[in-house]
A and B are shown apart, each in its own frame.
Chain A
Amino acid sequence: MNTALSPAAPAQSPALRAFAAQWQSRPADALWPVREKALQRFLKLGLPTTHDETWRYTNLRSLAAQSFVDAPRKSRSDIDPEQPLSLLGRTEPSVSLLVVNGHPVMPAAGSLPDGIEICSLRELAGLDPDTLRRFLEPLSDADQQRWALLNTALFLDGLYLKITGTVSVPLLILHVAAGDGADDISYPRIVIDAAPGSSATIFEHHVAQGEHTPLNNSNTHIALGRGARLEHYRVYSTGAGATHLDSLVVRQDQDSHCKQFTIALGGGLVRASLEVRLDKPGASLDSYSLLVGHGDRHVDCVNIVTHGAPNTRSTQTARAIAGDVSRVIFNSKVIVDAGAVNAQSQQSCRGLLMSPTAEIDTRPQLEIHADEVKCAHGATIGRLDPDMLFYMLSRGLDRDTAQSLLVYAFLADVLTGMSVASARASIENALIAQLPDSQTLQKFR
Chain B
Amino acid sequence: MLKITDLSARVAGKDILKGVNLEVGAGEVHAIMGPNGSGKSTLAQVLAGREDYEITGGTVTFDGQDLLAMRAEERARAGFFLGFQYPVEIPGVNNVYLLKAALNAKRRAAGEPEVDAYEFLALIRQKMKIMQMSEAFLTRGVNEGFSGGEKKRNEVLQMLVLEPKLAVLDETDSGLDIDALKVVSAGVNTLRDPKRAVVLVTHYQRLLDYIAPDRVHVLSGGRILKSGDASLAQELERRGYDWVSESQVA
Determine if B92 and A394 form an interchain contact, defined as CB atoms under 8 angstroms apart: no
Question: Which residues does chain B contribute within 8 Å of A397, judged by CB atoms?
Answer: 73, 98, 101-102, 105
Confirm or deny: B185 has a beta carbon within 8 angstroms of a beta carbon on chain A: no
The contact of A408 among B73, B92, B101, by CB within 8 Å, is: B92
Determine if A412 and B77 form an interchain contact, defined as CB atoms under 8 angstroms apart: no
Determine if B73 and A412 form an interchain contact, defined as CB atoms under 8 angstroms apart: no
The contact of A444 among B50, B72, B101, B109, by CB within 8 Å, is: B101
Determine if B52 and A386 form an interchain contact, defined as CB atoms under 8 angstroms apart: yes
Q: Which of A386-445 contact B (CB under 8 A)?
A: 386-388, 390-399, 401, 405-406, 408-413, 440, 444
Interface string of A364-387 (1 = CB under 8 A from B): 000000000000000000000111
Interface string of A174-215 (1 = CB under 8 A from B): 000000000000000000000000000000000000000000
Would you give the shortest CB distance from B85 to chain A, in whole angstroms?
12
Query: Would A409 and B48 be within 8 Å (CB), given that A388-B88, A393-B71 are in contact?
Result: no
Confirm or deny: B158 has a beta carbon within 8 angstroms of a beta carbon on chain A: yes
Determine if B49 and A406 form an interchain contact, defined as CB atoms under 8 angstroms apart: no
Determine if B76 and A388 form an interchain contact, defined as CB atoms under 8 angstroms apart: no
Question: Which residues does chain B contribute within 8 Å of A405, judged by CB atoms?
Answer: 93, 97-98, 101
Closest to A409 in B: B92
Q: How far is the CA of A94 from the CA of B101 in the complex (A)?
A: 35
The secondary-structure label for the interface of chain A is helix
Question: Which residues does chain A contribute within 8 Å of B102, judged by CB atoms?
Answer: 395-397
Query: Would A394 and B76 be within 8 Å (CB), given that A409-B141, A444-B97 are in contact?
Result: yes
Would you give the shortest CB distance from B121 to chain A, in whole angstroms?
15
Determine if B105 and A393 form an interchain contact, defined as CB atoms under 8 angstroms apart: no
Number of interface residues of B (CB under 8 A): 32
Q: How far is the CA of A268 from the CA of B169 in the complex (A)?
A: 50
Query: Would A410 and B92 be within 8 Å (CB), given that A393-B76, A395-B102, A399-B73 are in contact?
Result: yes
Query: Would A394 and B48 be within 8 Å (CB), given that A399-B73, A409-B141, A444-B97 are in contact?
Result: yes
Would you give the shortest CB distance from A413 to chain B, in whole angstroms?
8
Question: Which residues does chain B contribute within 8 Å of A395, judged by CB atoms?
Answer: 76, 98-99, 101-102, 105, 158, 162
Q: How far is the CA of A11 from the CA of B141 in the complex (A)?
A: 57
Question: Which residues does chain A contribute within 8 Å of B71, judged by CB atoms?
Answer: 393
Interface residues of A (CB under 8 A from B): 385-388, 390-399, 401, 405-406, 408-413, 440, 444
Using A392-B90, A396-B105, A397-B105 as known contacts, list a sample of 20 further A-B pairs with CB atoms less than 8 Å apart, ordered by residue number in A: A393-B49, A394-B73, A394-B75, A394-B76, A394-B84, A395-B98, A395-B158, A396-B77, A396-B106, A397-B73, A397-B102, A405-B97, A405-B98, A405-B101, A409-B141, A410-B92, A413-B92, A440-B101, A444-B94, A444-B97
